[in-house]
């Protein structure tokens, strides 16, 4: 079985500490998992943004968050599961934020959030080629 097939079958998952020094590890590990996938650079950017949001804006700060990535034929999906917290809506006309970058990369319906049922939240993004 090729390494790509093995990665597709198993996926990637890891738990990180809710600290800013973990962001470089998230980027490195996602890049290592996706390797020469056509959307690796965009997925690394998305992973970095989702992980930063978990650290800065949720109860995962100082605790933990989970990153999962799945590579399939023609698609890559990433999700970050945090420990939840209040969702802050931006005022209209506010400067662009990281989720705006994710929206631009994925297109409409290419990312979203859902509650975990334990007070946490999963934010996911999907890219195709």
The rounded distance, in Å, linking the Cα atoms of 116 and 87 is 14
User: Which helix H or strand E contains 30, and what residues bound it?
Assistant: helix 23-34
pLDDT digits (tens, 9 = 90+) for 23-42: 999 999 999 999 999 999 99
- For 14, the token pair is 């890891």
- pLDDT band at residue 7, thresholds of 50, 70 and 90? very low
Three-class SS of residue 55? helix
Three-class SS of residue 70? strand
The rounded distance, in Å, linking the Cα atoms of 48 and 19 is 12
Q: Is the pLDDT of residue 120 over 90?
A: yes
Q: Is the pLDDT of residue 3 over 50?
A: no
Instruction: Indicate the pTM of the whole model.
Output: 0.87
pLDDT digits (tens, 9 = 90+) for 96-118: 678 889 999 999 999 999 999 99
Mean pLDDT, residues 70-76: 95
């Amino acid at each position: 079985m090729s390494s790509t097939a093995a990665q597709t079958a198993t996926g990637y998952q890891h738990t990180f500490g809710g600290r800013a020094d973990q962001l470089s590890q998230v980027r490195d590990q996602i890049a290592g998992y996706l390797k020469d996938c056509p959307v690796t650079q965009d997925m690394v950017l998305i992973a970095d943004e989702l992980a930063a949001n978990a650290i800065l804006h949720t109860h995962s700060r100082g605790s933990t968050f989970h990153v999962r990535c799945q590579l399939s034929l023609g698609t890559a999906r990433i999700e970050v599961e945090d420990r939840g917290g209040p969702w802050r809506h931006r005022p209209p006309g506010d400067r662009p934020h990281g989720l705006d970058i994710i929206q631009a990369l994925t297109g409409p319906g290419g990312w979203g959030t859902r509650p975990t049922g334990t007070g946490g939240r999963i934010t996911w993004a999907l890219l195709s080629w």
